[in-house]
Structure 1
Amino acid sequence: MTLIDTPAPTPAPPAPTAEALDALAAELRELLGERNVSTEERVRERASLDGAWMSPIISEQLPLGLADVVAFPTSAELIAATVGAAVRHGVPITPRGKGTGNYGQGIPLAGGLVLDLTRARAVVEVGDGFITAEAGAQMVVLEQAAWKTDQALWMYPSTAQSTIGGFLSGGSGGTGTIEHGSNDRGYVLALDVVHADPTGVLVHVEGDGAQPYVHNYGTAGIIARATVRLEPLRDWRGVYASFPDLPSAMRVVRQVGHMQPPPRLVSADNPEISSTLPPDDAIPAGRASLRAIVSADMLHAVADAVDVAGGRIEAVREGPQTSMRISMLSYNHPIEWYQKATDRTTFHVEVSGEALIDRLAEVEAVYPHGLLHIEAGHSVPIGMLAGAYESAEQVYDGIARLNELGVGVHNPHQWNVDFEVERTVRLARTTDPTGLLNPGKLNPDYAGPRKGAIK
């Protein structure tokens, strides 16, 4: 990704003075109450870290920033009022959901205020084809609310306890992506966002007007409330299968991923990764594991595909909770389990393309002890490629070699906005003219294969 003629971002804000921080904390205590504002060191430290520990490159640089004040607004309106107060005092604002993001996008690089949104968690309305909730509502809670009306979310991330605001600001896909693509493709119907405005007002945007606020880490506006799409609840079944090796499982990933109606999720791992997953009789030791969420009327077709590939069905499970359990074993979660179980220092990069299946041995050989977790994607296979970590240079050189193999790569070892960067910079120049919203994350010059490019 080469950025040419991209407008310069707003300048970094000056460090807030002690007087400004004290005044902000006092104002927020009046606004939110004592229990919803903290300047205690342990609270500030906890609010200044996220899931970036999965990256040894980022971990080597920690700590990257420490909050001066942490605020916990309990409604969308109070989110707006809190942002307005911080803007009036010239204090940088870093929004935070559950802190499950893996790229450091929730770390307050400039200090200032960490805006923890997890207490603004009301589900406002469940309607025909939509659900509205405040930014801190967990995705699993939204899914459960939808189930009660015989509906389900279009998609939700593998970390189902993450918040709707965090998923829209920092995530991109998950369960449901095979059919619906990423969360910037019509999933969002409307948002109430907050700009760096001293008046602290909510700005309502809908349809195409909402899309520029998705996946930009709150650098152009902080999501306070969201309305996203629902679909009719289907008779989903959870299928667990095992195979002698990963190549056998991958053929089924590709085949099942193209079935109609589309499955909700298809994931597979080789025996080394599968052995580190939470114990389950349906994930036998020494075999590659495949987990899928498929329509009940596709069970026979899936079973036939598994049989032809030399695998066996280990379990077929019913009920909406089954989907949630399988979801939590998808995307980067198997790599996380593997990282925790191995003595090696490991890392991962996000990969995509048919080469993941057609050139598996070459792909895994790019990194020492390379291991691939595979998913059926919206148009091509996607996955997480893990390797034994030696240096940042090794990781970046490997990205270039993967590109040569025809593999698309997203580098998760950086915290910069790398989706629609030009659009976000132009929007932020209007919505955040003083650069107070999550400063340090919107750097248009931070591009290229070594710095976070997407092929």
Structure 2
Amino acid sequence: MNDTTSIAPAIAPDVAALEEELRALLGDRGVASDLAAREKASIDGSHLSPVISSKLPLGLADLVAFPSTAEEIALVVGAAVRHGVPITPRGKGTGNYGQGIPMQGGLVLDTSRARTILEVGDGFITAEAGATMVALEQAANKAGQQILMYPSTAQSTIGGFLSGGSGGTGSIKHGMLHTGFALALDVVHAVPDAELVHVEGEEAEPYIHNYGTAGIIARATVKLEPLQEWRGFFASFDDFRQALSVIREFAELEPTPRLVSADLPTLANALPTDPAIPADRASLRAILDIASIDDATALVESAGGRVEDVRDGAQATMKISMISYNHPIEWLQKAYPGTYFHVEVWGDALVDRIDELHDVYPGGMLHIEAQRGRPIGMIAGVYESEEQVYAGFERLNELGIGYHNPHQWFVDYQPERTAELAERTDPAGLLNPGKLERAAVDTGSQL
């Protein structure tokens, strides 16, 4: 293991020398310096926030590297450190908070070609950082298993999900990423002689959801569980309150659902036409174990709704995932460009005080997710100004609604711990610079 206390030399960035070294390491196909490639590598999904979009462009890569193995990721990091060049790690670039934007230029380290799945064992799968969540799920399924959770953007990479995500499909049962999803990681610290550093259990946890600011995830081992027979479940209601009335009961179904989402007719009218999500009706979509379909049907009918369809196959369940968590804002923005913004919210008041919640922002529309303990979701509103967005936070607190501010790019999960770790693992401050700071705006409540 390399000495994580090594001090990187404080030298002026030398991109030209780094490019020369990386071409020797990776070959010409493994390095890009043309403007089109640099621009493509310098954007992510933060366009979903009109607040962040108003501050773009936040940075442009000087160079892009495409290592094809975990070991090459380490070689690239070491070379960048020796040449004093900032390093911004990147998976598929689907993050919504500017995590993948190189705010100080330098090197974008694109991990998407390091995608080998190394082992599928009893209760675990090991893969390089660029392996997609879909690929992991397929490999696990072939072994009669499934991953515990995956993000709504299922084409995201495992490294990107662990570095920038929080939860997703499967979180009803398993919680968020910090609840034991990752068994072990091979990470790379920003030191001149960088190599893979293996961490397990509690030692791995501080590297999760810190945007690669204290170490870049190059390889991961995550938990698997026995494969279940899932179905895509589609229901609709005359009124959104009918769906809300059973959302907490859906979370308690047995076997536990993988996902349950519900929305006002506003979303159904913004989505591509699908008879299972009829226009002008509130919709509820769920990924259910086949054994719970009858109980779910009874819940829907007891609330005055109707089951529109029950579908088999990965395509059906993936479709439902792509309309979950933050994804409804993307569909709303496609249908109504320049109109909507969102804030992530949670708490029983989402159900109990829905009218007051909708009044917080003009045109308010709650997207809700069933979750054991308390429902979560996002409130979408018609965007007027950055000040309007922040002014709503106080009102959310008054209603007893927790929130997370998605309109900033700072590490906001235990930033002090991450900063303390980065003092050892990134002494020159080269890992994703600009992201590990205390936000100038309120990042969220802890209700």
TM-score (structure 1 length as normaliser):
0.94
Deviation at residue 310 of structure 1 after TM alignment: 0.6
Q: Which residue of 1 aligns with 2:119?
A: 125
Deviation at residue 235 of structure 1 after TM alignment: 1.6
The yes-or-no answer on 1:235 pairing with 2:229 is yes
The yes-or-no answer on 1:41 pairing with 2:35 is yes
Structure 2 Cα separation of the partners of residues 399 and 115 of structure 1: 35
Cα contact 1:179–1:264 (8 A) shared by 2: yes
Match of 1:390 among 375, 384, 392: 384
Deviation at residue 334 of structure 1 after TM alignment: 1.6
Structure 2 Cα separation of the partners of residues 335 and 275 of structure 1: 13
Aligned amino acid, residue 133 of structure 1:
A
Runs of 4+ in 1 over 3 A off after TM superposition: 13-17
Secondary structure at 1:65's aligned position in 2? coil
The yes-or-no answer on 1:51 pairing with 2:54 is no
Cα contact 2:10–2:428 (8 A) shared by 1: no
Aligned amino acid, residue 241 of structure 1:
A
What runs of 5+ residues in structure 2 fail to find an aligned partner? 1-8
Deviation at residue 327 of structure 1 after TM alignment: 1.0
CA deviation string 1:294-341 (max 9, x = no partner): 121111111111001010000011233332221111111122101110
The yes-or-no answer on 1:345 pairing with 2:339 is yes
The aligned runs of 1:9-408 (5 Å cut-off) are 16-17=12-13, 20-408=14-402
The yes-or-no answer on 1:446 pairing with 2:446 is no
Cα contact 1:410–1:452 (8 A) shared by 2: yes
Q: Which residue of 2 aligns with 1:413?
A: 407
Cα contact 2:117–2:136 (8 A) shared by 1: yes
Cα contact 1:97–1:162 (8 A) shared by 2: yes
Secondary structure at 1:275's aligned position in 2? helix
Secondary structure at 1:424's aligned position in 2? helix
Cα contact 1:270–1:373 (8 A) shared by 2: yes
Deviation at residue 292 of structure 1 after TM alignment: 0.5
CA deviation string 1:178-205 (max 9, x = no partner): 0000011100000000000111200000
Go from structure 1 to structure 2 and tell me whether the alpha carbon gap of 1:15 and 1:343 turns closer, same or farther (over 3 Å shift).
farther
Cα contact 2:144–2:227 (8 A) shared by 1: yes
Structure 2 Cα separation of the partners of residues 454 and 84 of structure 1: 38
Report the identity percentage: 64
Aligned amino acid, residue 128 of structure 2:
E
Q: Which residue of 2 aligns with 1:8?
A: none
Deviation at residue 14 of structure 1 after TM alignment: 8.0
Aligned amino acid, residue 443 of structure 2:
G
Structure 2 Cα separation of the partners of residues 57 and 319 of structure 1: 38
Structure 1 Cα separation of the partners of residues 349 and 10 of structure 2: 47
Structure 1 Cα separation of the partners of residues 152 and 336 of structure 2: 22
Cα contact 1:335–1:373 (8 A) shared by 2: no
CA deviation string 1:79-134 (max 9, x = no partner): 00000000000100000111100100110111100001111111111111001110
Secondary structure at 1:45's aligned position in 2? helix
Cα contact 1:15–1:110 (8 A) shared by 2: no
Structure 2 Cα separation of the partners of residues 415 and 222 of structure 1: 17
Aligned amino acid, residue 402 of structure 1:
L
Aligned amino acid, residue 288 of structure 1:
A
Deviation at residue 270 of structure 1 after TM alignment: 0.7
Go from structure 1 to structure 2 and tell me whether the alpha carbon gap of 1:403 and 1:148 turns closer, same or farther (over 3 Å shift).
same
Cα contact 2:11–2:83 (8 A) shared by 1: no
Q: Which residue of 2 aligns with 1:9?
A: none
Structure 1 Cα separation of the partners of residues 104 and 167 of structure 2: 29
Aligned amino acid, residue 445 of structure 2:
I
CA deviation string 1:397-443 (max 9, x = no partner): 10111111011100000000000112111111110111000011011
Secondary structure at 2:384's aligned position in 1? coil
Secondary structure at 1:317's aligned position in 2? strand
Structure 1 Cα separation of the partners of residues 323 and 273 of structure 2: 12
Moved more, 176-185 or 232-241: 232-241
Q: Which residue of 1 aligns with 2:4?
A: none
TM-score (structure 2 length as normaliser):
0.96
Aligned amino acid, residue 411 of structure 1:
N
Number of residue equivalences: 438
Secondary structure at 1:66's aligned position in 2? coil
Deviation at residue 392 of structure 1 after TM alignment: 0.7
Structure 2 Cα separation of the partners of residues 392 and 14 of structure 1: 38
Structure 2 Cα separation of the partners of residues 391 and 435 of structure 1: 33
Cα contact 1:56–1:345 (8 A) shared by 2: no
- Aligned Cα root-mean-square deviation (Å): 1.3
Cα contact 2:329–2:340 (8 A) shared by 1: no
Structure 2 Cα separation of the partners of residues 232 and 277 of structure 1: 33
Deviation at residue 239 of structure 1 after TM alignment: 0.7
Structure 2 Cα separation of the partners of residues 278 and 118 of structure 1: 29
Go from structure 1 to structure 2 and tell me whether the alpha carbon gap of 1:78 and 1:343 turns closer, same or farther (over 3 Å shift).
closer
Q: Which residue of 2 aligns with 1:6?
A: none
Structure 2 Cα separation of the partners of residues 428 and 333 of structure 1: 32
Structure 2 Cα separation of the partners of residues 35 and 307 of structure 1: 57
Deviation at residue 279 of structure 1 after TM alignment: 2.0
Cα contact 2:90–2:110 (8 A) shared by 1: yes
What runs of 5+ residues in structure 1 fail to find an aligned partner? 1-12
Deviation at residue 16 of structure 1 after TM alignment: 4.6
